[in-house]
Every structure is written in structure tokens, then in C-alpha cells.
Homo-oligomer: A and B are copies of this chain.
Amino acid sequence: MTGGKGIKSLGPYDSTHERILETALGLFSTKGYQGASTREIAQEAGIAEVTLFRHFPSKEKLLQEILSRFSVLPALKAYIPAALELPYEEALVSLADHLLDTLVQIKDWVRIMQAEVQRSPEKLLTVFHGFIDDLFETYASFFRELQQRGTLGDFDPEYAARAFHGIVFCYFSIEELLHRKRYKANDRGEAIRQFMRIFALGTVSRTAAEA
């Protein structure tokens, strides 16, 4: 009566594998990579520690597998065409809303990246840089298209993308990562609207603004 508990085997990526990954994601994000022990991960996942090492050759490989399995950017990219057809400020608000949703969704991933990127220079940095570059390029293409349509001024679309991202990301970081909720009011929609109003006024073409 000491053996397995009847969990079905479903191939290499069965539920045990997944359970370990998800549990480790949560623990790494709250306690840090060094702060979460393999004993603790196994215990919280409801498995034996030795089982963890049968699925992952080392703790480090477990971390790497966790950090390389998120790909939320395609969904963000796919939304750009729809946003292009909205009125400009409305488009900005909905893009910011989508970005914020996505960031909240991958909150643990972001937290680990931010905390661990110093320690493990090559692997994590490459993944994170790829994510950021891709994100910036996505938003830059949005601004570039609107510039060609004459809606926007003649700023550099890549810097605009960075500014847009900076505003939204820092809001996310302070509210979600640093637990600084309700800084002014618990109204996320209001914050986004205020931010995007400033950003929209700063980027529309002068002639469009005067209309």
C-alpha cells in the first residue's frame, strides 16, 4: 500500500509532469529560485521528491523548462488588425487592456524573469530579450501603419512603442508585482483611460488633433 496512487500515464507530458511545472512556477515566483527547495516543490505538488528528479534531471533544467513554455505574444499580435480599425484613442485603450490582461496572466513568469535574470545571464536573458523585442516590434508596427494612414504625427514608432509599453508595464508592475493596489482608486479602467488620453494627445497628428 505504498505504491502509486493510480494516476494514469499519458505520455511524456502527463499530469505529473505538468503538476511539477505548475507548482514550481508558483513557488519560484514567490520565494525565488534559490528560495524554493525541491523538497518543498514536491511536497506541494503531492509527489515524492525522487519523482521530481525522474522528470527533470536537475532543478536548473526545471526552471528552464518553466521559463521557455510561455508564448502569449501571438495572441497580442493577432489583435493588432482589429485595433487598427478603431478610433485611435479607443484602439490604444483596448491595446493597453489586452497587454495588461496578458501580463497578469503570465505574472509568475514575469516575476521569475525579473528576479532571476541577473543570476543566469545567458539562458534567461535570451528568452526575455526575445520577448521584449517582439513585443516592441508588435506595437511599433501598429504605430507605423497609422502613421502611413496619416492619423499620427511623425515620431519614431519604436520609441513610441517603448513609451506605451513603459506606461502599461510600470502600472502592472506596481499593482501586481509590488502589491501596490488601490494607489488612487481601484479602477483599472480609469487608469488606462487617463494614460491613453495623454499618450493619444502626444502622438496624433497636429491636423487630426485640431479637428
Contact = CB atoms under 8 A, between A and B. Distances in A.
A180 to B, nearest CB: 6
A56 B205 CA distance: 59
A135 to B, nearest CB: 11
Count of this chain's copies in the oligomeric assembly: 2
Contacts of A159: 184, 191, 194-195, 198
Contacts of A119: 30-32, 35
Given A29-B118, A160-B198, A202-B198, A170 B165 contact: yes
Interface stretch (A16-24, A78-86, A125-133): A125-133
**Chain A interface extent, by class:** 35 or more
Interface stretch (A38-46, A57-65, A66-74, A109-117): A109-117
A44 B102 CA distance: 42
Contacts of A76: none
A210 B125 CA distance: 45
Contacts of A201: 153, 201-203
Q: Secondary structure at chain A's binding surface: helix, strand, loop or mixed?
A: helix
Given A32-B32, A125-B178, A199-B202, A166 B160 contact: no
20 contacts: A30-B119, A32-B116, A111-B118, A115-B116, A117-B178, A129-B178, A132-B174, A132-B180, A136-B183, A155-B194, A155-B197, A155-B198, A159-B184, A159-B195, A162-B191, A163-B195, A163-B198, A166-B168, A198-B199, A201-B201
Interface of A: 29-32, 34-35, 111, 114-119, 125, 128-129, 132, 136, 153, 155-156, 158-160, 162-163, 165-171, 174, 177-180, 183-184, 191, 194-195, 197-203, 209-210
Given A32-B115, A162-B170, 18 more contacts: A31-B119, A32-B32, A32-B116, A34-B34, A115-B118, A125-B179, A129-B178, A129-B180, A153-B201, A159-B194, A159-B195, A162-B174, A162-B191, A163-B195, A166-B168, A198-B199, A198-B203, A201-B202
